[in-house]
């Protein structure tokens, strides 16, 4: 938020659409002129032909060629003013002011870094805190205009300051320090800013020289109220490291802050005392170590020359590493460092009263302006939430309505929008989960695994028993179960018939019939023990019958050979061997009878027979 010569020396621009960097005035990447539509909204003012609008259109066209970057059709980012842990600050031309031919159209824009995109909860909280910080109307606190986003780019706009950051002033006087008179002037401004914020329950939480700006007239302004507090609060809630977002500077953090304990006003007191010491000495009181490290190493701040006993006592108490030994408020620290004097003269009292009256009038006006900004922000967030809800972008609706509801808890529309969007989002999440479970159940059903299908259906019913998908699949599963039962009954009947046929074939020694029946049963039920046993029996009997046939055939052949040789006793013996193997073998019976009859006739005729 600076327009100083020192901060303008590097003139580095960050291309928000591509993440690349380039030196001011050089040619942009080849795709920057065409890709800007994805991140940066086009500006159009063709309906007006005034000099202001013509100049605004000219600036927009120049931005398309790489000269600056346009956000929200309005803010033209031109020069980099500085980099910090939370983002980059740009000197920015407000095209609304250009249209109005304002002689000073410049503001400052802080573009937050990539880490905020990775922590959406921190972004929402940051938006709320920034909106609240707009109510801080004080001459020693930088004025915040708005907090917004353009696509994935998160940014906040504020007044453009002239002068120099305090950390640069201290760096220029390293180990020497600034003049005491200058330090006390800056310190009074810082105490006034913090005391004002604390009265309104605001804790800075990242107070350091880099967040303090010194104007050419020597006055000081505090920057980034709400950013560090929002990030630290969300970090404590969601358990991520606020330091990753640049919201915690260890050298100015108390023991409690390092340990992630709840913030307190005394945290700002410690940081303020460190800054005052650093301005006076040109170095950090504890060599840039955190309060926790300083306490562990039993460090003590070295007394500074040039301070009275009262001044050193006040400063050293502000630097106390133990919370209970430190001032509880900035007001106490300020009173100890700059004791108030009782008015002596009536003229002084009158003058003080007049100043107070003027201050009260200025404060009332400032508060009115701040309230108007808050009301405008609420109206804008409610309108945005309504648009998002109509487009069924419920996350967006929640985000905007939540900000509006936090700014104005009595806003009925904002609360109803928030509740409706949250319910719609929950319903959508439930529907998506049910869809996933039913899809799994259908896969099981296709594979005829009804138990698997029933398990996924049960999970879906637990989310939404009356969902149309759940009801429909429940009917489909019932039909599948009935069909499965019918198929199982039919299969059992066929198996019973096949077993009966196999037993009949086995009794009749029709082993092929037995094996074929058993094979059919096992096709229907691969684990059927009866079919396995009867198939094994038939196979064994089939093998035995085959061996018996071979043996009988050989004996019958031998018997016939004996007959041919007229050795009837041999033929009879072979036939009898066959009949011992198979008493019903008719060929053997016939051969034996023929041999015996021939033998009898020969015996009667007187022939000698074998």
User: Partners of 77 in the beta sheet?
Assistant: 69, 92
Q: Which residue has the tokens 């003590």?
A: 300
Does position 17 have pLDDT exceeding 50, yes or no? no
CA distance 317 to 365: 37
The model carries a pTM of 0.51
Domains and CATH numbers, the chain: 502-604 (1.25.40)
Average pLDDT, the chain: 82
Does position 27 have pLDDT exceeding 90, yes or no? no
Average pLDDT over residues 270-293: 97
Per-residue pLDDT of 138-174, as tens digits, reads: 999 998 888 888 888 888 898 999 999 999 999 999 9
Question: What is each CA distance from 600 to 555, 559, 593, in whole angstroms?
Answer: 23, 18, 11
Query: Element (H or E) spanning 75, and its range?
Result: strand 75-83
- Which of the four pLDDT bands, split at 50, 70 and 90, describes residue 118? low
- Which of the four pLDDT bands, split at 50, 70 and 90, describes residue 242? very low
User: Which among 326, 319, 333 has a CA at the least distance from the CA of 289?
Assistant: 319
CA distance 405 to 413: 9
Determine the pLDDT at residue 42. 44
- Helix 180-199 vs helix 265-281: angle between axes, to the nearest 10 degrees? 170
Q: How far is CA 313 from the centre of its chain?
A: 50
Better pLDDT: 347 or 384: 384
Q: Which residue has the tokens 């046939």?
A: 549
Does position 405 have pLDDT exceeding 70, yes or no? yes
User: Partners of 214 in the beta sheet?
Assistant: 164, 220
- Read off the tokens for 279: 């301005």
Let me know if 256 is exposed, middle or buried by CB neighbors in 10 A (0-12, 13-18, 19+).
middle
Determine the pLDDT at residue 229. 55
Determine the pLDDT at residue 363. 61
Per-residue pLDDT of 508-522, as tens digits, reads: 888 889 889 989 999
Determine the pLDDT at residue 559. 93
User: Partners of 147 in the beta sheet?
Assistant: 156
Per-residue pLDDT of 535-559, as tens digits, reads: 888 888 888 888 999 999 999 999 9
Determine the pLDDT at residue 54. 83
| Contact between residue 184 and residue 175 where contact means Cβ atoms under 8 Å apart | no
Average pLDDT over residues 49-78: 82
Determine the pLDDT at residue 152. 81
């Amino acid at each position: 938020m600076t327009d100083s010569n020192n901060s303008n020396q590097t003139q580095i621009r960050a291309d928000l659409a591509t993440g690349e960097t380039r030196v001011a005035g050089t040619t942009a990447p080849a795709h920057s002129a065409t890709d800007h539509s994805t991140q940066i909204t086009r500006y159009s003012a063709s309906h007006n032909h005034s000099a202001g609008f013509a100049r605004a259109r000219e600036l927009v066209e120049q931005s398309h060629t790489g000269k600056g970057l346009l956000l929200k059709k309005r803010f033209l980012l031109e020069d980099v003013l500085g980099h910090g842990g939370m983002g980059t600050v740009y000197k920015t031309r407000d095209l609304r002011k250009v249209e109005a031919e304002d002689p000073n159209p410049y503001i400052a824009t802080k573009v937050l870094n990539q880490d905020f995109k990775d922590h959406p909860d921190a972004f929402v909280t940051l938006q709320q805190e920034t909106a609240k910080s707009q109510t801080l109307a004080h001459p020693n606190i930088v004025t915040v205009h708005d907090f917004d986003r353009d696509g994935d780019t998160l940014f906040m706009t504020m007044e453009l300051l002239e002068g120099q950051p305090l950390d640069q002033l201290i760096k220029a006087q390293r180990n020497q320090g600034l003049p005491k008179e200058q330090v006390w002037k800056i310190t009074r401004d810082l105490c006034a800013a913090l005391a004002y914020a604390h009265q309104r329950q605001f804790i800075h939480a990242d107070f350091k020289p880099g967040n303090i700006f010194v104007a050419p007239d020597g006055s000081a302004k505090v920057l980034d109220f709400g950013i560090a507090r929002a990030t630290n609060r969300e970090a404590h809630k969601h358990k991520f490291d606020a330091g990753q977002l640049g919201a915690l500077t260890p050298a100015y953090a108390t023991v409690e802050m390092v340990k992630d304990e709840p913030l307190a006003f005394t945290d700002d007191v410690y940081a303020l005392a460190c800054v005052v010491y650093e301005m006076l000495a040109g170095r950090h009181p504890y060599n840039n170590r955190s309060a926790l490290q300083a306490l562990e190493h039993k460090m003590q701040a070295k007394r500074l020359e040039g301070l009275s006993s009262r001044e050193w006592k006040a400063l050293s108490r502000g630097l106390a590493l133990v919370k209970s030994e430190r001032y509880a408020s900035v007001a106490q620290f300020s009173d100890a460092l700059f004791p108030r004097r009782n008015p002596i003269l009536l003229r002084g009292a009158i003058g003080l009263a007049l100043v107070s009256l003027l201050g009260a009038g200025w404060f009332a006006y400032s508060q009115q302006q701040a309230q108007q900004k808050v009301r405008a922000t609420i109206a804008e967030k409610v309108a945005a939430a309504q648009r998002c809800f109509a487009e069924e972008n419920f996350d967006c609706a929640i985000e905007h309505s939540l900000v509006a509801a936090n700014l104005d808890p009595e806003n009925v529309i904002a609360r109803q929008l928030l509740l409706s969007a949250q319910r719609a989002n929950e319903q959508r999440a439930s529907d998506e989960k049910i869809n996933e479970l039913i899809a799994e159940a259908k896969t099981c059903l296709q594979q005829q695994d009804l138990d698997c299908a029933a398990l996924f259906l049960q999970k879906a019913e637990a989310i939404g028993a009356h969902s149309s998908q759940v009801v429909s699949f429940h009917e489909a599963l019932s039909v599948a179960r009935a069909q499965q039962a019918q198929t199982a009954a039919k299969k059992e009947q066929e198996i019973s018939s096949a077993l009966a046929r196999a037993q009949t074939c086995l009794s009749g020694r029709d082993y092929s019939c037995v094996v074929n029946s058993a094979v059919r049963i096992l096709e229907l039920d691969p684990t059927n023990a009866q079919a396995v046993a009867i198939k094994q029996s038939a196979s064994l009997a089939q093998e035995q019958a085959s061996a018996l046939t071979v043996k009988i055939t050989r004996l019958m052949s031998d018997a016939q050979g004996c007959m041919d040789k007229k050795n009837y006793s041999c033929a009879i013996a072979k036939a009898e061997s066959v009949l011992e193997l198979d008493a019903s073998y008719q060929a053997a019976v016939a051969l034996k009878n023929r041999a015996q009859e021939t033998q009898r006739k020969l015996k009667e005729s007187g022939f000698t027979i074998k």
